Amino acid sequence: MKSESKVRASLPEGLTEETLRDMYYRMILTRLCDDRAFALNRQGKIPFAATCQGHEAVQVGAAFALKRGTDWVVPYYRDTALALSYGVTPREQLMCLFARRGDIFSSGRQFPNHYSVPDRRIASISSIIAAHVTHGVGMALAFAMRKEPIVTLITFGEGSTSEGEWHEALNFAGVHKVPAVFLCENNEFAISVPQKLQMAVANVADRAAGYGLPGVICDGTDPVATYLVVHEAVERARKGEGPTLIEAKCYRAMSHTSDDNQATYRTAQEIEALKARDPIPRFEGWLKARGLIDDETIASLRKRAQAEVDEATDWAEQQPSPTEEDLFTHVYAAGPLS
Amino acid sequence: MAVKTVLEGVRDAIHDEMKRDPRVFIMGEDVGPRGNVFLITKGFLDEFGRDRVIDTPLAEASIVGVAIGAAMAGMRPIAEIQFADFIYPAYNQIVGEAAKIRYRSAGGNTCPLVIRTPYGGGVRGALSHSVSVEALFYHVPGLKICVPSTPADAQGMLTSAIRDEDPVLFLEHKRTYRLIKGEVPDGDFTVPIGEADVARPGKDLSVITYGLMRHFALEAAEKVAAEGIDAEIIDLRSVRPMDRTAILQSVGKTHRALILHEDNKFGGIGAEVAAIIAEEALFELDAPIRRVCGPNVPAMGYAKEYEEAFMPNPERIAAAMRDLAAF
Domain closes at, from B135, B150, B184 = B184
Query: Over the stretch B78-114, which tens digit does the pLDDT of each residue have?
Result: 999 999 999 999 999 999 999 999 999 999 999 999 9
B29 in the same domain as B125: yes
Query: Over the stretch B252-302, which tens digit does the pLDDT of each residue have?
Result: 999 999 999 999 999 999 999 999 999 999 999 999 999 999 999 999 999
Q: In chain B, which residue's Cα lies nearest the Cα of A169?
A: B62
CATH number at residue B96: 3.40.50.970
Strand partners, B260: B292
Domain closes at, from B127, B149, B184 = B184
Q: What is the pLDDT of residue A3?
A: 44
pLDDT above 90 covers what percent of chain B?
A: 100
Residue B226 above 90 pLDDT? yes
Domain closes at, from B141, B162, B184 = B184
B175 in the same domain as B61: yes
B99 in the same domain as B34: yes
* Those residues with Cβ within 8 angstroms of residue B113's Cβ, 6 or more apart along the chain or in another chain: B64, B67, B68, B71, B76, B77, B79, B98, B167, B168
Q: Are B215 and B176 in contact (CB under 8 A)?
A: yes
B67, A104: Cβ pair inside 8 Å? no
Nearest to B104 among A110, A136, A337 (CB): A110
Residue B1 above 70 pLDDT? yes
B176 in the same domain as B207: no
Q: What is the pLDDT of residue A9?
A: 59
B175 in the same domain as B202: no
User: What's chain B's average pLDDT?
Assistant: 98
- Structurally, at CATH architecture level, domain A17-311 sits in 3-Layer(aba) Sandwich (3.40)
In chain A, what are the domain boundaries? 17-311
CA distance B160 to B166: 11
The DSSP code for B182 is E
Task: Kindly state whether residue B233 falls inside one of the protein's structural domains.
Answer: yes
Q: What is the pLDDT of residue A7?
A: 58
B244 in the same domain as B145: no
B129 is catalytic: yes
Query: Over the stretch B25-48, which tens digit does the pLDDT of each residue have?
Result: 999 999 999 999 999 999 999 999
Task: Kindly state whether residue B290 falls inside one of the protein's structural domains.
Answer: yes
Q: What is the 3-state secondary structure (H, E, C) of chain A?
A: CCCCCCCCCCCCCCCCHHHHHHHHHHHHHHHHHHHHHHHHHHCCCCCCCECCCCCHHHHHHHHHHCCCCCCEEECCCCCHHHHHCCCCCHHHHHHHHCCCCCCCCCCCCCCCCCCCEHHHCECCCCCCCCCCHHHHHHHHHHHHHCCCCCCEEEEEEHHHHHCHHHHHHHHHHHHHCCCEEEEEEECCEECCEEHHHCCCCCCHHHHHHHHCCCEEEEECCCHHHHHHHHHHHHHHHHCCCCCEEEEEECCCCCCCECCCCHHHCCCHHHHHHHHHHCHHHHHHHHHHHCCCCCHHHHHHHHHHHHHHHHHHHHHHHHCCCCCHHHHHCCCCCCCCCC
Query: Over the stretch B66-85, which tens digit does the pLDDT of each residue have?
Result: 999 999 999 999 999 999 99
B166 in the same domain as B141: yes
Task: Kindly state whether residue B189 falls inside one of the protein's structural domains.
Answer: no
Q: What is the pLDDT of residue A10?
A: 79
Q: Is the model's pTM score more than 0.80?
A: yes
Task: Kindly state whether residue B209 falls inside one of the protein's structural domains.
Answer: yes
A261 lies within 8 A of chain B by CB: no
Q: How many structural domains are present in chain B?
A: 2
CA distance A108 to A126: 13
Range of the domain at B243: 197-326
Q: In chain A, which residue's Cα lies nearest the Cα of B113?
A: A138
B164 in the same domain as B206: no
Q: What is the pLDDT of residue A22?
A: 98
* Those residues with Cβ within 8 angstroms of residue B240's Cβ, 6 or more apart along the chain or in another chain: A337, B137, B138, B140, B143, B144, B145
Distance to chain A for B12, nearest Cα, Å: 23
B250 in the same domain as B109: no
Q: Which residues of chain A fall below pLDDT 70? A: 1-9, 338
Residues 67-86, chain A, touching B (beta carbon < 8 A)? 72, 74
